[in-house]
Amino acid sequence: MKALFKIVGGILVLLILALVVLSITGFPPKDRRPGLWIKGDLVTTPVTDWSYTNKIRTIEVQTNTWYFVPHSVTIFCIFYNGQLYLASIVPPGGAKYPGGRIWDQMVARDPRVRLKIGNQLFDRTLRYVTDPVEHDGVIAAQTKKYPEYKYAAGSAFNVFRIE
């Protein structure tokens, strides 16, 4: 029994050490690989103009998981009608919000996120867009910003407004 406690204790210590190292290094997302913590300079002042994001290809989004280790992804950002949005593609047959991608599910549980744009961090809240006119306008703006990106026929989109 003592040996079992030593093994379990050793595994827990190694897990805690790994999490401490990862929280220091961040282990940010890269391309299509998700990450954990994102690092940068926290901006606490209000942002009144997100239009500069039209020149930025991707941003990083860190969500809060139920198991207290963040989940972060790299994603497109869309500036539309004075607001900043994120859209998550749902492949044909995939679950719409709150399903879809893992980060969609995390946002459904806790809409508070951390965005990394350039080297700046913004703590914000995401709101799922239910208005069809707003939703379709954001998708049209996304298609215009990323014309080279092709979507599978029958794909749907979960659209989130950044507040």
List, for residues 28-72, the tens digit of each pLDDT value.
Answer: 787 777 888 999 999 999 999 999 999 999 999 999 989 888 999
CA dist 147 to 23, 40, 92, 117, Å? Answer: 36, 29, 20, 21
pLDDT of residue 18: 63
User: At CB < 8 A and 24+ separation, what contacts does 50-57 make?
Assistant: 50/79, 50/82, 50/83, 50/84, 50/162, 51/79, 53/77, 53/79, 53/84, 53/117, 54/79, 54/145, 56/117, 56/118
In this structure, whether the domain defined by 2-162 belongs to CATH 2.30.110.10 is answered with yes
Domain boundaries, the chain: 2-162
